[in-house]
Amino acid sequence: MSSRLYDWLDRRLNLKPVQRTLLDEPIPGGASWIYVFGSVTLFLFVLQAATGMFLALYYAPTPDHAYDSVRFIETEITFGWFVRGLHHWGASSMVVAIGLHMLQTFLYGAYKKPREVMWMVGVVLFLVVMTFAFTGYLLPWDQTAYWATQIGINMVGTVPLIGDFFSRVLRGGEILGALTLSRFFAIHVLFLPAILIGGIALHLFVLRRVGPAGPWTDDRASLASETFAPRQVYMDAVVIAAVFLVVATLAFSIPLPLTDKANPSDTSFVPVPEWYFLFYYELLKYVHGPLEPLATWVLPLCVILIMLFWPFIDRNPVRNPIRRPAALGSGLLFLFVVFGLLGISLKNLYAVPRTDPAVAQGRAIYAQLGCAGCHRIHGEGGAVAPDLSTIGYTRPDRAWHLKHFRDPQSVSPGSFMPKFPLTDQQLNDLTSYMLSLKRAT
Ligand code: HEC
């Protein structure tokens, strides 16, 4: 800004003190690339807000129109697919950014006295972001959205005493339907942004009161200090630009999944949650029967409480991670479990038998016979018949497919799917291909 304009404004608005609080905040030990993740998270929130506003221009939060409005955004609106892509990948990136921000804070022991309150507000912000993700997932109202949300709400229902009440509040009744959708929409676009903005303001207010933590050295007196502007501002801006480029590239190059429209009566559909909930989805697979509540609420509640009150559990004033083996060890163990489960889950999901020649053969038959004229797989093909992207999950039974291919009407009375004259070998290959289709994208 030209200095004359600045002086003119300053004489009227008294800007100097504002500049001092915003830009001249001293950072002990100076600017660093490791401090950028808070700003990156904030930027991604702004990106989510901006893209969300544009999506809201066309999105209709009712079961009759939600799916079609998302499809409309994808196919009819100029750059609608791109804005939806930015919002989708922006959400994923926000989870990554906030995770790295927390990791840095943890590693540097920056949550320790006097910054306990800042950490606690941060944990709440993290939970709000995860709630954003959970409520946003339902909005496209496709099969995945519907059944993944069903699982989530059922989990809430397993909490004793209050669970039933809360799951009914979330659903807006006994069934997941119109009220649930409008409720999730309102929470996603009105309640959560308000809470998040308030929380961010509080987080930054506390930061201004206690100041940045700086490096973990004990010898605080010897630390040189540097103001936030210009070098930290520059570093933040560089990383923010890079993150935006990555998000835009992902949005540009990877088409987003949209499975079939939600069908509440198709209870056989097996949804796949977003990658950041996958580790948890994997965990749920291992616990059954009386142990189930352990995974559906006891463990998550314990982890959340431990995270929230961590500054009071780890009271060791030392900040150097090498000299805090217990804290570092528990942090690493936590990451190991989460990423281990995520790894197993991804492996199961993406373990497509690429080398299986029967699958390749089946894929060729699928192309030859023009099945794509009616069916869609991973976004390609017609829409008059069921989307087959995840048919390997929803119908894992080989015999069913063979019977269905030989005579569709015998399994689905009234089906207009034609019979194809195929040999047993061809039928088996086609079925192998069907069974290999397990993922939504
Ligand atoms: C003329 C349109 C049409 C063509 C072509 C067609 N189908 Fe279908 N298909 C349908 C319809 C309609 C259904 C739903 C009723 C049923 O289950 O038969 C269906 C159902 C299916 C299902 C069961 C889906 C489910 O979720 O239950 C599979 C699997 C399937 N088709 C595979 C194929 C394959 C493989 C081909 C190519 C060899 C093919 N279809 C060609 C119309 C078609």
Residue-wise pLDDT for 80-114, tens only, equals 999 999 999 999 999 999 999 999 999 999 999 99
Q: Are residues 55 and 149 in the same domain?
A: yes
Give the domain-ending residue among 318, 350, 382: 350
Among 417, 420, 426, 430, residue to substitute to test ligand 1 (most atoms within 8 Å of Cβ): 417
Q: Are residues 97 and 180 in the same domain?
A: yes
Q: Are residues 219 and 366 in the same domain?
A: no
Give the domain-ending residue among 283, 318, 350: 350
Residue-wise pLDDT for 388-406, tens only, equals 998 988 888 899 999 999 9
- Calculate the alpha carbon distances from 340 to 250, 302, 418 in Å: 25, 20, 45
Q: Are residues 282 and 395 in the same domain?
A: no
Query: Quick one: average pLDDT of 174-189?
Result: 96
Q: Does the C-beta of 408 come closer than 6 Å to ligand 1?
A: yes
Report long-range pairs for 230-235 (Cβ below 8 Å, ≥24 apart).
Answer: 231/30, 231/31, 232/27, 232/31, 232/32, 232/35, 233/23, 234/31, 235/31, 235/32, 235/33, 235/35, 235/36
Q: Are residues 109 and 27 in the same domain?
A: yes
Length in residues, the chain = 441
**pTM of this structure:** 0.76
Nearest CA to ligand 1 atom 1: 417
Query: Quick one: average pLDDT of 184-190?
Result: 97
Q: Does the C-beta of 94 come closer than 6 Å to ligand 1?
A: no
At position 225, the amino acid (one-letter code) is S
Where does the pLDDT of residue 196 fall: very low under 50, low under 70, confident under 90, or very high at 90 and above? very high
Q: Are residues 76 and 224 in the same domain?
A: yes
For residue 234, the enclosing domain spans 23-350
Residue 52: count of CB within 10 angstroms of its CB:
20
Whether 280 is in a domain gets the answer yes
Nearest CA to ligand 1 atom 34: 371
Nearest to 136 by CA among 338, 276, 255: 276
Q: What is the mean pLDDT of the chain?
A: 91
Q: Are residues 257 and 389 in the same domain?
A: no
Residue-wise pLDDT for 208-228, tens only, equals 999 899 999 888 778 888 998
Whether 237 is in a domain gets the answer yes
Domain count for the chain: 2
Residue 84 near residue 55 (C-beta atoms within 8 A): yes
CA 434 to ligand 1: nearest atom: 29
Tell me the residue ranges of DSSP E strands in 11-72.
26-28
CA atoms within 13 A on the CB side of 239: 20
**CATH number of the CATH domain containing 420:** 1.10.760.10
**CATH number of the CATH domain containing 99:** 1.20.810.10
> Ligand 1: distance of its center to the CA of 227 in Å?
65
